[in-house]
Amino acid sequence: DPRFAQPVFSEIPVLVANGRYDADTPMAWGRELCRTLPNSHYFLFTGQSHLPLFQHPGGKRIGMEFLDDPYKRPADDGIVDKPFRFYPGT
């Protein structure tokens, strides 16, 4: 069914985290995912590969801030690359 190839649209808050050197899920996939998720928060972690929220020293804090208030963008405190902004509110 061609509908399975269409992007998912959802207003549910989502935290998207990419490692700059992730060979499993390239950062282009994370950026593309955020295009149809208006309440998503995208973070690109410098020097990280897969699962940066678990491997980067500030990743756990970002994850916990998201869980505390999913509609508010967690502070990056300069520990991650600048986010890509595709839509208002990112």
- Rounded to two decimals, the pTM is 0.78
Q: What is the pLDDT of residue 68?
A: 98
The pLDDT confidence band at residue 85, using thresholds 50, 70 and 90, is very low
pLDDT in tens, 2-52: 988 888 899 999 999 888 888 888 888 888 889 899 999 998 888 788 888
Per-residue tokens: 24: 């499993």
- Consecutive H or E run containing 4: none
- Using a 10 angstrom Cβ sphere, with 0-12 exposed, 13-18 middle and 19 or more buried, the burial of residue 83 is middle
Q: Contact, 79 vs 56, CB < 8 A? A: yes
What is the full DSSP assignment across 14-42?
A: EEEEEETT-SSS-HHHHHHHHTT-TTEEE
Q: Contact, 44 vs 56, CB < 8 A? A: no
